[in-house]
Structure 1
Amino acid sequence: MGFWIPFVAVVLADQWSKAYIRSNFAVGESMQIIGEWLQLVYRENPGAAFGMLAGARWLFISISTVSIALAMLLYSRLSSFGTPSRVMVPALGLVAGGALGNLVDRVRQATVTDFIYVKHFPAVFNIADSAIVIGSIILGIMLVTYTYRSGQSGGI
């Protein structure tokens, strides 16, 4: 699948969905999708997860920019070593695409549009957030698995 397909797919899906929500909902408005379990709830988030560090726009712009650059650098390094991992490369694309999706919001409007609400989950989120979390979990599992296997074989 490579890096670019998930990267572009996440950015496009994220930006399209946010534009749809901003055009069709008022801030705070909600719509049930699957009863109370899954809803669209339009929020503008000036901070990070759970609204933490609201007002630290330039910090988040910097972190997003560095994250995208690091993911692309790691992808290019992996590619230069031969056949890159079929799991790690798309995971990097998910993380970078999610970071770019939220970066576009922060640069354009100083907040990030969130709209996905899942019952019993403490935050409203968006497609970019989901991609970052899924990609990070995959990368974390790969790191733990690699570290475990290296330890088993006497490596670092």
Structure 2
Amino acid sequence: MIRKSPFKFFVLTLLLIALDQGVKLAVHFYMAPGFAGQIKLIGDWLKLHYVLNPGMAFGMQLGYEYGKLLLSVFRLFAMVGIGYYLVHLAHRGAPDGLLWAMSMILAGAVGNVIDSTFYGVFLNNAPYGSPTPWFHGQVIDMIFVDLWEGFIPEWVPVWGGQYYSTPIFNIADSCIFIGVCLILFFQRRFFGEQHIENSMLPATPDANEAAVLPAAEFMGEEQTEKLSSDEPAVQSSDDLPSASATPTSTESESVLPNEHKRSE
């Protein structure tokens, strides 16, 4: 496992945030909202179309009074969690592809958090009747891929009979979408490499177990043979004197006088 620095991945995150905010502010100050200010980029299917989104990504929203506030708070926690997870993955040596994808997701989350938190105050675009402009700013969307629009057939459940248009989104939404798709498409490569690297790491040895490990575990065969050849030969049990052997004459002479004194 190679510990990586998350610095370069946060640099990408900051660059994407700057791009997202720059485009949003340019659209706000230099484009008219709606069809009046629409700009065609590629034919009739890719356009710049300035709309305000009071809710979630791709024009979705929570339909109750404090839904926007809850959504903004959720985005704040998600932003912190994604940033922490990115650092964690980098320190564990995760594949670069996974880290780039996470940095894109983080950039998208931060970009929309900035809109929700500050645009209601600095751009005065909070919806009418909001309890406070803080955390109620509307997200600026502008990328319109106009593939199809019209009324959905009546037989379609839930949405039948409603007018439908391709969602309009922004660069932050695109970053989140692309990052998630990269992780889904390459999850075997991203997380498979992590599993292989982790399986190759040795388990943390216990202090008691490490004290009795044989030297062969840490030294090669040549070093082990050299160590054994340098050690003095240990006498076998046949070469050692027996405890029951008959004492020598010198030993018997040293013992007899003591025995003689006892008998007297």
Q: TM-score range by the shorter chain?
A: 0.7 to 0.9
Q: Which amino acid aligns with 2:81?
A: L
In the alignment of these two chains, the number of paired residues is 151
Instruction: Give the match's secondary structure for 2:141.
Output: strand
How many angstroms apart in 2 are the aligned matches of 1:146 and 1:84? 7
Distance 1:145 1:59, change over 3 A: farther
TM-score (norm 2): 0.52
How many angstroms apart in 1 are the aligned matches of 2:82 and 2:32? 35
Structure 1: any 5+ residue segments left out of the alignment? none
Q: Which consecutive aligned stretches of 4+ in structure 1 deviate over 6 angstroms post-superposition? A: 147-150
Which structure features the higher share of helix residues?
1
Distance 1:75 1:51, change over 3 A: closer
Which among 21, 29, 33 is matched to residue 15 of structure 1?
21
Structure 2: any 5+ residue segments left out of the alignment? 1-6, 121-136, 149-165, 200-264
Q: Does 1:99 align with 2:109?
A: yes
Q: Which amino acid aligns with 1:135?
A: G
The percent identity for this pair of structures is 25
Equivalence map 1:5-154=2 (5 Å) = 5-28=11-34, 29-48=37-56, 49-53=58-62, 56-81=67-92, 83-108=93-118, 109=120, 110-120=137-147, 122-143=166-187
Alpha-carbon shift at residue 76 of structure 1 (Å): 1.6
Alpha-carbon shift at residue 135 of structure 1 (Å): 0.7
Higher relative contact order (CA 8 A, sep 6+): 1
Does the CA contact (< 8 Å) of 2:50 and 2:142 recur in 1? yes
Does the CA contact (< 8 Å) of 2:95 and 2:193 recur in 1? no
TM-score (norm 1): 0.85
Q: Which amino acid aligns with 2:71?
A: F
Distance 1:2 1:137, change over 3 A: farther
Distance 1:144 1:120, change over 3 A: farther
Alpha-carbon shift at residue 142 of structure 1 (Å): 3.5
How many angstroms apart in 2 are the aligned matches of 1:41 and 1:85? 37
Does the CA contact (< 8 Å) of 1:2 and 1:86 recur in 2? no
Q: Which amino acid aligns with 2:183?
A: L
Instruction: Give the match's secondary structure for 1:87.
Output: helix
Instruction: Give the match's secondary structure for 1:3.
Output: helix
